[in-house]
């Protein structure tokens, strides 16, 4: 069984967490490069990591995103105490903040026998199964990544965003599940570039506060099951 090293970072600033991801990804890529120079019997399995985190309020824009989807000026961002980062992940603009479970799997997909499309499908599946435990029916949108409610209806709304970077089958960035997220922040962007779809949270759908730690445990459990992996806990 594969092993994933898990770290729960609690509340952590976006830029610092991004830097940590980059260092972990570089370590995996360096190991992969070194393995190419060794006989097969001497090659070492590349490690895998999973970070859970909440961020202070921040908007992030993907490498193919459009700046016009951010509806605030730099002055307004400062007034609202919201950070902004242009990132190297896929996707457009999204919001991260307290009450949102952000997960960053930093994995060598070759260890799991899957490509990027199957990887994204697997992450979506873990979220869909988690939501089902709370009797929230969710699904995929064939035209957009992430996890959605009421796909194909005028009431379609996203509950989990996914944006990934991949290099030599090693992933970084990941998913953001709205648990008790303050959805007011989404009014100041066109979330993921959409102007005709809404955003929701578990709290909104269930009509009350949701136990955040319980959601974390469920998501972690389903991710490990889907990736057929066991977890090794690391200190932050």
Q: pLDDT value at position 192?
A: 64
The predicted-structure confidence for 40-78, as pLDDT tens digits, reads as follows: 777 778 999 999 999 999 999 998 888 988 999 999 999
**143 vs 146: CA distance, rounded Å:** 10
Separation in Å, CA 80 to CA 15, 56, 73, 84, 166: 18, 12, 11, 11, 32
Q: pLDDT value at position 28?
A: 96
- pTM metric for this prediction: 0.94
As a whole number, mean pLDDT of residues 128-142 equals 97
Mean residue pLDDT across the chain: 93
Confidence of residue 197 (pLDDT cuts 50, 70, 90): confident
Q: Outline where DSSP puts E strands in the chain.
A: 2-11, 49-54, 58-61, 83-86, 93-96, 100-106, 139-141, 144-149, 157-167, 170-178, 198-199, 229-233
**114 vs 116: CA distance, rounded Å:** 7
Q: pLDDT value at position 35?
A: 87
CA-based end-to-end distance of the chain: 24
Bridge partners (DSSP) listed for residue 7: 51
Q: pLDDT value at position 235?
A: 60
Lookup: tokens for 88: 């190297």
DSSP strand pairing (157-167 vs 198-199)? parallel
As a whole number, mean pLDDT of residues 189-211 equals 86
Residue from 177, 192, 219, 229 carrying the catalytic annotation = 192
* Residue 192 designated active-site: yes
Separation in Å, CA 100 to CA 48, 133, 141, 144: 23, 18, 21, 20
21 versus 191: which is more confidently predicted?
A: 21
Q: pLDDT value at position 202?
A: 98
The predicted-structure confidence for 76-93, as pLDDT tens digits, reads as follows: 999 999 999 999 998 889
Q: Which one, of 103, 116, 106, lies nearest residue 217 by Cα?
A: 103
The predicted-structure confidence for 161-179, as pLDDT tens digits, reads as follows: 999 999 999 999 999 999 9
CATH label of the domain that carries residue 165? 3.30.930.10
Q: pLDDT value at position 232?
A: 86
Q: Outline where DSSP puts E strands in 22-156.
A: 49-54, 58-61, 83-86, 93-96, 100-106, 139-141, 144-149
Q: pLDDT value at position 196?
A: 65
Interacting residues of 226 by C-beta distance below 8 A, sequence separation 6+: 122, 125, 126
Q: pLDDT value at position 26?
A: 97
- How much of the chain is in helix, strand and coil states, percent to nearest 5? 35, 30, 35
Domain total for the chain? 1
Q: SS3 for 136?
A: coil
Q: pLDDT value at position 195?
A: 60
Q: Provide the residue range defining the domain that includes 225.
A: 2-233
**130 vs 135: CA distance, rounded Å:** 9
Cβ atoms 85, 56 nearer than 8 A:
no
């Amino acid at each position: 069984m594969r092993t994933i090293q898990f770290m729960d970072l609690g509340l952590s600033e976006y830029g610092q967490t991004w830097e940590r991801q980059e260092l972990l990804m570089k370590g995996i890529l360096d190991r992969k490069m070194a393995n190419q120079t060794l006989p097969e019997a001497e090659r070492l399995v590349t490690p895998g990591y999973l970070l859970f985190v909440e961020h202070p309020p921040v908007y992030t824009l993907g490498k193919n995103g459009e700046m016009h989807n951010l509806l605030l000026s730099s002055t307004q961002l400062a007034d609202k105490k919201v950070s902004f980062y242009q990132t190297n992940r896929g996707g457009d603009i999204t919001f991260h903040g307290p009450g949102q479970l952000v997960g960053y799997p930093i994995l060598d997909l070759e260890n799991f026998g899957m490509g990027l499309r199957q990887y994204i499908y697997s992450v979506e599946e873990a979220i869909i199964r988690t939501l089902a435990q709370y009797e929230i029916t969710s699904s995929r949108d064939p035209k957009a990544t992430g996890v959605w409610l009421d796909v194909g209806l005028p009431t379609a709304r996203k509950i989990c965003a996914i944006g990934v970077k991949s290099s030599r089958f090693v992933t970084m960035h990941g998913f953001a599940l709205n648990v008790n997220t303050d959805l007011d922040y989404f009014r100041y962007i066109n979330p993921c570039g959409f102007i005709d779809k809404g955003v929701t949270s578990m709290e909104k759908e269930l009509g009350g506060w949701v136990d955040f730690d319980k959601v974390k445990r469920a998501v972690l459990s389903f991710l490990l099951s889907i990736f057929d992996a066991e977890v090794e806990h690391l200190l932050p």
